[in-house]
Chain A
C-alpha cells in the first residue's frame, strides 16, 4: 500500500490552474524527492497533502485512507507531519518548548489541564532525545527567535519529527544554508527519516540523487515522471523540461 496516493488532484486559484491533475504514489518507507522548476507547484502540492489547502478536484489518500479536505490537525493525527519552506516555529517560546509542543499530542496529553507539563517524564525524555538529535540541546533555554538561521531550520525539522509521524514532508529543508550546513542537515534528515516515509522538496540535485530512493518531477502542475534516480536522469522528457538537454 502507498503511504501517500494522489489521484487526479487539481487546484485552481481563481481561474488559474496551479496543479493540473497530479497522480502520485509515495511508497511506504521510501525516501521520495520532488523536484521541478520554480513555480511548478511543489509547495502547493505539499499544502494540499498536509491540509493547508483543499484540492479543487481529485482525491488524496494516506495509508489507503481518504484525507481530502481534512483539516491540518486531523491529517497530522493520522500520521503525517510537515515542515515549511519559510521557517515556521514558535518564536517567543524556548527551543525546549517548541519541540515539546510538537511532542504533546502524540503522547496522548492533548488538551489536558490536569497534568503538570513540567513533570511529564515521558515528554521530557522524548523532547530531550529530539533536541539531542538536532543538536540543539545546549540551546534549549533560548528563545527560538534568537537562534541562527541554520539552527532555526534544524528546529523546524525537530518540530516536524517531534510527534513521531510515520510520514514526513520536508519543504526545502536546506534552502539558504551554506554547503557545510546543508551537508549536516542532509545527514540529519537521513538519520531522522530512518524507518519512516519521507517526501522531500529539494533544489540541490546532489542532495536529491544522494538521498532519494525515487524521484518525481513536477512541471507546470503535472507530474511528468516518477521513477528511480538513474531512470529519471535518463528520462528524455525530464531532460527537456527540467534538467536541460545534455549537450
Chain B
C-alpha cells in the first residue's frame, strides 16, 4: 500500500471513529450523568425523586411509542404498567418463598414480559381499529382492569394491595437493595437500557413504518404494510416497556395496589408525554422529569396542586401543542445562528408579566380554596409567607390587580417578543443561516 493510500485509510477510519463516537457519545454521557447525579445531590430525598423520574421516563417513552410514534391515543396505558408491577411483586414473593436463585435486578424483566403478554392479549382486540375506536377501547379496557383489581382480591390484594420485601432476594455483590441509593442505581440502569432500546427502535424499518401508519395508515397498506399489524406490534412493545416501568415502581415502593392500573396513572402518563412534547423522542423524557418534579414539589407547597397541574396542561395544549421539546426545537435554528441571546430581554419582560399574572391567579385560587374547605380553621391564611385574613377586602383587591394588571402587562409585552423574534430571524438570515 502506498503512503498516500495508508493516510487516506487512516483518515477514513478516524472519520469512522469520530462518527461512531458522535453516535454513541450521547449514551456514554447519559450513563456518566446517571452515575454522578447521586454524588452531586446526595440526600435521600433526591434519590427518591430521581428514582421516580427514572420510572416515569420509561413509562412516558413507552406511552409515546403509541401516541407520538404510531398515532394511537391510549387512555389505559397504566394497565400494562400496573400488571407489570403486580406480576413483579408476586414473582418476588414467590422467589423469596422458595429461595429461588434469582436476583432483584432481573425482576423488572418479569414486569416487561407481563406487560408484553397483556399487550398481546388486549392489543389483539384494541388495535384492530386506529383513531377514536382505539382510544375508546383502551379506555374501556382500563376501566375493566381497574375494577377487576378491586374484585379479584387474591391476585390484586383489594384496597390495601400487595406488599413485598425487596431485600429478601438472592444477593449479588453484597447489595441487598435496602437503601434508596441502591434502588436508584437499579432504576438508572434499567432506565438507560430502556431509553436506548426505545430510541434504537425508532431507527428501524418497523419504527419508521410506525410513523408512516401515524401519518397515513391507508397509504401504508398500499406499499405492502398491514397497518393493523404495525399498530399491534407497537402496542405489544409499548406494553413491554410499560411493564418494566411498573415492575421498577413495585420494587421501589415495595407495594402495589389498584391505583397502579387506574385511570389516574393512565392520565398522568398522557400528561407527561404531552407536556414534554410527543413530536420528538426526547419530549416525553422532559415531560416525565418535569411532571414528577411538580408532583413531588407542588404537592408540598399547595394542596390544590392538581389544579395548577391541570392549568399547565390546558395552557400547553392551547399555546404550545408541540410541548416543551417543541418550544425548544423552535429555538434551535436561532441557537445555531448565534442570535438566540437577542430574545433574552423580551423573554424576561414576558416572564415578569407572566409571573405577576400567575401570582394573582394563585392568590385567588388559594383564598378561594381556604374559604371553601378550610373555613373551620378561621379566616387567617398565609401566602408567600405573608399572613392575612380572607375576610378582608385588601387581599382580594390585590389579587384582582395582580391578575388583571398582569394580563394586560403580558399582552403588551407580547409585541416585544414577536419583534425580538423578527429581529433575530433577520439577523440570522443576514449571516446566511437557513432559517
Contact = CB atoms under 8 A, between A and B. Distances in A.
Identify the interface centre among B200, B204, B205, B206: most chain A CB within 10 Å of its CB: B205
A111 interface: yes
B215 A92 contact: yes
Interface in A101-144: 101-102, 104-106, 109-118, 120
B11 interface: no
Interface string B203-229: 111111101100110111111111001
A206 B221 CA distance: 33
Nearest to A107: B205
A149 interface: no
A70 B341 CA distance: 59
Contacts of A235: none
B219 A88 contact: yes
A72 to B, nearest CB: 4
B208 A72 contact: no
Contacts of B206: 111-113
A76 B221 contact: yes
B208 A117 contact: yes
B194 interface: no
A118 B203 contact: yes
B224 A117 contact: no
Contacts, number: 93
A159 interface: yes
A240 B102 CA distance: 84
Given A76-B222, A82-B222, A163-B223, A90 B215 contact: yes
A11 interface: no
B201 A159 contact: no
Contact residues on B (Cβ < 8 Å of other chain), bracket: 20 to 34
A105 B230 CA distance: 13
Given A88-B216, A90-B215, A92-B215, A117 B207 contact: yes
A151 B70 CA distance: 26
Given A88-B216, A90-B215, A91-B215, A110 B222 contact: no
Interface in A66-101: 71-73, 76-77, 81-82, 88-93, 97, 100-101
A76 B229 contact: no
B205 A111 contact: yes
Contact of B208 (A77, A82, A92, A97): A97
A105 B221 CA distance: 11
B233 interface: yes
B244 to A, nearest CB: 17
A76 B219 CA distance: 11
Interface residues of A, number: 36
B226 A110 contact: no
A112 B201 CA distance: 10
B208 A91 contact: no
Nearest to A144: B215
A76 B223 contact: yes
Contacts of A88: 216, 218-219, 222
B216 A50 contact: no
B208 A100 contact: yes
Contact of A93 (B211, B222, B223): B211
A51 to B, nearest CB: 8
A162 interface: yes
A96 B31 CA distance: 33
A113 B202 CA distance: 9
Given A90-B215, A93-B211, A93-B212, A115 B225 contact: no
A33 B223 CA distance: 23
A67 B226 CA distance: 16
A89 B221 contact: no
A198 to B, nearest CB: 16
Nearest to B204: A113
A99 to B, nearest CB: 10
Contacts of B222: 50, 72-73, 76, 81-82, 88
A103 to B, nearest CB: 8
A105 B212 contact: no
B219 A112 contact: no
27 contacts: A52-B218, A72-B218, A73-B222, A73-B224, A73-B226, A76-B224, A81-B222, A81-B223, A88-B216, A89-B219, A90-B215, A90-B219, A97-B208, A101-B208, A102-B223, A104-B208, A105-B223, A105-B225, A109-B205, A111-B229, A111-B230, A112-B204, A112-B205, A113-B204, A113-B206, A115-B204, A117-B205
6 closest cross-chain pairs (CB), A and B: A105-B224, A90-B215, A72-B221, A109-B205, A113-B206, A102-B223
Given A72-B221, A93-B215, A106-B224, 19 more contacts: A50-B222, A73-B226, A82-B222, A97-B211, A101-B209, A101-B212, A101-B220, A104-B224, A105-B223, A109-B205, A111-B230, A113-B207, A113-B233, A113-B237, A116-B203, A117-B203, A117-B204, A159-B219, A163-B224
Interface of A: 50, 52, 71-73, 76-77, 81-82, 88-93, 97, 100-102, 104-106, 109-118, 120, 159, 162-163
Interface of B: 200-201, 203-209, 211-212, 215-216, 218-226, 229-230, 233, 237
